[in-house]
Structure 1
Amino acid sequence: MTESRPFPRAGVLDRAGVRDDGLTVGRVADVLGITVRTLHHWDEIALARPSLRSDAGYRLYTTRDIERLQRIVLYRELGLGLAAIRTLLDDPAAAAPAELRRQQERIRERIARLEQLDAGLGRMIAAHERGVLLTPEQQVAVFGRDWDPAWAEGARARWGTTAQWAQYAERSAERGAEEWQAVAEAMTGFEQELAAAFDDGVAPADAAADRLVERHRAVFSAYFPLTRSMQVCVARTYAEDPGFAAHYDGIRPGMAAWFRALVDASARAHGMDPDTAIWE
C-alpha cells in the first residue's frame, strides 16, 4: 500500500535525476513516497514493471516507467483499485472521465457518511458531558415543572465515571424531545400504576407486586439496563434519599418505603438476599 503522503508532482522526475540507465527500486520508492514492497508487488502482477536491469540483475526504472508509476500513485490516492487502474492505463478504449466521475461520487458518499459520523460523535461527546441534550426549557416541558436541569450535571458529577452513565449517555445521544417525552410518559404511567396498586393494598410477595417490580425494571431500562441487584439498590435510594422519597411520598404518603418492600420481596423470591445487593 502507498504511504499517506501527497502524490508526486510533475517536477519530481527532474529532481529524481533519472538518467538513461534508470533508477533503482529503493530510489524510486523514496521519490514516489511508496514502499519497495509495493513496487515489487506491482512488478509481480505486471502493473508496473521496470524496463531495465543492471549488470548485477537489479531492477531499474526509466523515466517512462516512473511516469506510469506516478499515474498509479495518483489513481490510488483517488481511491481507485488496482484493476481499475490497470484498465485506465492499458485499455485505449477506457473512459477515464466516466471512471473518475464514478469514483468522485463514491468519495462524496463517503464524505457525507463521515459528516454524519462526525455529527454523531459530537452528540455522543455532548451526551457524556451533559446527560440530556435538551435545552433547560425543553427539559422542563418534557419532565415537568418540578424538574431541575441542574440534576443532570449533579448526576454526571456523581456517576460520570460508571458504565451506567456511559450507557445512559449513548442512549441520550440518540434522543430528542419526542423520544424523551415517551420515556417520561412511560415513567409517569408506571408511577400511576404504583399509586393504584398502593391504593388497592397490594402487598409484598403478591403476584401483582412482582409484576410491578418487573415493570419497573423494564421502564427504568430506558436509561440503562437494570439488574435485579441494582434494582434493589435503586429502591433503597427511593426510600432513603430525601429527594426521591419526597417525590414518591408526594404521590402517596409511604409509597417509597412500600415500593422498596415490594422490590426486596421480589428479590428474595428470585433467590437473592436484598441486604447483600450491590451495584453491579
Structure 2
Amino acid sequence: MRRTAVVERAQQTWTVGPAAEAVGTTVRALHHYDALGLVVPSGRTDAGYRVYTGADLDRLRHVLVHRELGFALDDVAALLDGDPDDRARLVREQLARVTDRIDRLQQVRAALETEMEATMSGTELTQAEKRELFGSTWVENEEEYAAEAEERWGDTDAWRQSRERTSRYTKADWAEVAAEADGINARFVALLQAGEPADGDAARAVAEEHRQHISRRFYDCGPEMHAGIGRMYVEDPRFTATYEAMAPGLAQFVCDAFQANAAGRS
C-alpha cells in the first residue's frame, strides 16, 4: 500500500495554479522562476499550459526555503545545482544568522509581553525602554537623525504634528508602532522574494499601507511626500543599509513601490 502511494505521487502532475497552492506561493512567482530557469516545469499540456511533477514541486520547495533563509535567486540556483558540500556549508551559515535573529525576536517578544502588563500605566517611553523594545541600533540611529531632521524639517507642519503626537505616546503605543512597521516590512520582503513587481497591485497596496501608517502614527503624509520618503531610502546610505539588511534589493523595491503608488493617486 505504501509503495503504491509513492508510485501514485510520482505519477501525479499539477498545472501552475494547483502547483502554486500546493507549495504556498503565487502563480506569478512560478512564472518568474520558470523564466529564470530556476524551476522549469517538466511538461506542457497540448494547450501549452505548464505541468509540474512531484520532483518539480520538491525543487520549488527548496527554492522557497532558501529564499526564506535570505539567499538571492542567483545563489539559490547555484546551490541547488552545485556541489552539495558547498550548499551544506552555506545553509549552515544562513541558519546561524536566522538563529541569531530568532533569539533577538524572542527578546523583543518578552519586552512586548512585559509592556502589555503595563498598558494602562500611561508612562512615556524612555530611551532605555526604547532600547529594550527596539534594540540599541534603532535608538542610536534615532539619536543620530534627530538634530539633522529638526534642522531640515523643524519649521514644517509635518514635524510639529509628529512631535505633538509622539510626545503623548506610551510604551504600549510605541510597541504597536514597531509591530505595525515590522509587519509592513515583512510584507515587502515577501513580495520581493516572490518575484512580485514593485509597481504591481500587491506592492502598491503595501506602499499605501505604509503611507497610512505614517499618517495615522506621525503626520499627514500625502502621496508626493511619501514618494519623497521612498527616494530618501535609496539616496541616503544609512536608510539604504537598513533595508538592505532585511533583504538584498529591498531599498530600491520599496522606493519603486512608493513611486508607483504615488503615481496612481496623483
TM-score w.r.t. the length of structure 2 is 0.49
Choose between structure 1 and 2: higher helix proportion: 2
TM-score, length of structure 1 as denominator length: 0.47
